[in-house]
C-alpha cells in the first residue's frame, strides 16, 4: 500500500488522519505543535521532524492547514515540502486556499518533477470524524486515481473538477454560500425573537419546508443555547468569505450579499469570537440595534 504523509493535525486533519490509519494506510504525520501528534503516533502513525522529512520518506504527502499563508509556509519554508519532494512523488493540498496560492505551489511541485493535486474538503468536524466529507479534486489525474482509496477512507464523495485552481474555486463558492446562509439564518432568528416568536418554532417551520437543511438543524440549537463549541471556527469562515470576495474581484463579479455577510463575520472577530464555531456570528448580529 502507498506510504502517505499527513501535515496538519487540527480539528479536521486529526480526524482525517485517524480515518486513514483505520483504513490500514502506512501513515507518517507532522504538526507544528508536536503534542497534537501524540494521539496518532500512539495509534500507529510514524512521527516526522519536518514537512521535508514527510515528503522525502512518503510516496504522497497530504496537507490540511488553516489558510493560504500556512499552506505557503509549509510548502516553501525552511524544511518545507518542496525541499523534500523528488521525481514521481505526489503532493495533495487539501486546505482551503485561493487558486493563486494553489497555482504557485503546483508550479514549484512540478519543478521537482513531482505531481500536484488539490482536493479541498467540504464538511466540518463531524463529517471529518465520520468519513463523510466531500472532496473537490483538481490537478494531476494520475495522482487523483492513486488517491481514490485514500479519499474513500475520509469522504463519501469525490468530484474531479479539472485543472489546478478549479477545486479551490469550488470550495470557496461552497463556503461562500454557507457563510451567507448562516448570516441570513441568524438575522431570521433575531427578527423572529423581536416579534416574540420562539426560535424552536422557527426551526420547526424551516425544517418542514423548502429551507430544510442539515446546517440549520445542527446550528439552530447551538445558537439558541449559545454554545459554540467549534466544528468550523469562525475565523476560518471569515477567511473563506474574504477569499471568495477576492476571487469575485478578479472575475469582475460583485458579490454584495457576501460582502454584507463578511462584514458580520468581521464584526464577530472584533468581538473576540474568532475561535468559536462560525455560528457564533449570531452574537454579532444579535447585538446590532437600530
Selected catalytic residue, list 89, 125, 171, 283: 171
Q: Tell me how far apart the alpha carbons of residues 185 and 183 are, in angstroms, rounded to a whole number.
A: 5
DSSP 272: T
State how far the alpha carbon of 28 is from the alpha carbons of 60, 154, 198, 242, in Å.
10, 16, 50, 33
| Predicted pLDDT of residue 289 | 59
* Average pLDDT of span 65-90: 97
171 is catalytic: yes
Q: How many CB atoms lie within 10 A of CB 200?
A: 11
pLDDT band at 290; cut points 50, 70, 90: low
* Average pLDDT of span 243-270: 98
| Predicted pLDDT of residue 1 | 77
Is pLDDT at 288 greater than 80 in this prediction? no
Q: Does domain 3-162 have CATH number 3.40.50.720?
A: yes
- Please, what's the b/e burial string for 78-100 (b: 16 or more CB within 10 A of its CB; e: otherwise)? eebbbbbbeeebbbbbbbbbbbe
pLDDT tens digits along 40-71 = 999 999 999 999 999 999 999 999 999 999 99
In the block, cell 477576492 appears at 246
Parse the chain into domains and list their residue ranges. 3-162, 169-286
Q: Does domain 169-286 have CATH number 1.10.3720.10?
A: no
Amino acid at each position: 500500500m502507498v506510504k502517505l504523509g499527513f501535515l496538519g493535525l487540527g480539528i479536521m486533519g486529526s480526524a482525517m488522519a485517524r480515518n486513514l490509519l483505520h483504513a490500514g494506510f502506512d501513515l507518517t504525520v507532522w504538526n507544528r505543535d508536536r503534542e497534537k501528534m501524540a494521539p496518532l503516533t500512539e495509534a500507529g502513525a510514524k512521527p516526522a521532524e519536518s514537512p521535508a522529512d514527510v515528503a522525502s520518506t512518503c510516496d504522497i504527502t497530504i496537507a490540511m492547514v488553516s489558510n493560504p499563508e500556512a499552506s505557503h509556509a509549509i510548502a516553501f519554508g525552511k524544511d518545507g515540502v518542496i525541499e523534500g519532494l523528488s521525481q514521481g512523488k505526489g503532493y495533495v493540498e487539501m486546505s482551503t486556499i485561493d487558486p493563486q496560492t494553489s497555482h504557485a505551489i503546483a508550479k514549484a511541485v512540478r519543478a521537482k518533477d513531482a505531481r500536484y493535486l488539490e482536493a479541498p474538503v467540504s464538511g466540518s468536524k463531524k463529517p471529518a470524524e465520520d468519513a463523510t466529507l466531500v472532496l473537490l479534486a483538481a490537478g494531476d489525474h494520475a495522482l487523483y486515481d492513486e488517491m481514490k482509496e485514500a479519499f474513500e477512507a475520509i469522504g463519501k464523495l469525490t468530484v474531479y473538477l479539472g485543472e489546478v485552481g478549479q477545486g479551490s474555486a469550488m470550495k470557496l463558492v461552497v463556503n461562500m454560500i454557507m457563510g451567507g446562509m448562516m448570516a441570513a439564518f441568524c438575522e431570521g432568528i433575531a427578527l423572529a425573537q423581536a416579534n416574540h416568536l420562539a426560535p424552536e418554532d422557527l426551526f420547526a417551520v424551516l425544517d418542514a419546508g423548502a429551507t430544510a437543511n442539515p446546517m440549520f438543524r445542527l446550528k439552530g440549537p447551538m445558537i439558541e443555547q449559545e454554545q459554540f463549541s467549534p466544528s468550523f471556527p469562525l475565523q476560518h469562515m471569515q477567511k473563506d468569505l474574504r477569499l471568495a470576495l477576492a476571487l469575485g474581484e478578479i472575475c469582475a463579479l460583485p458579490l454584495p450579499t457576501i460582502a454584507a455577510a463578511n462584514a458580520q463575520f468581521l464584526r464577530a472577530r472584533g468581538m473576540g469570537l474568532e475561535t468559536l464555531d462560525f455560528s457564533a456570528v449570531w452574537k454579532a448580529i444579535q447585538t446590532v440595534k437600530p
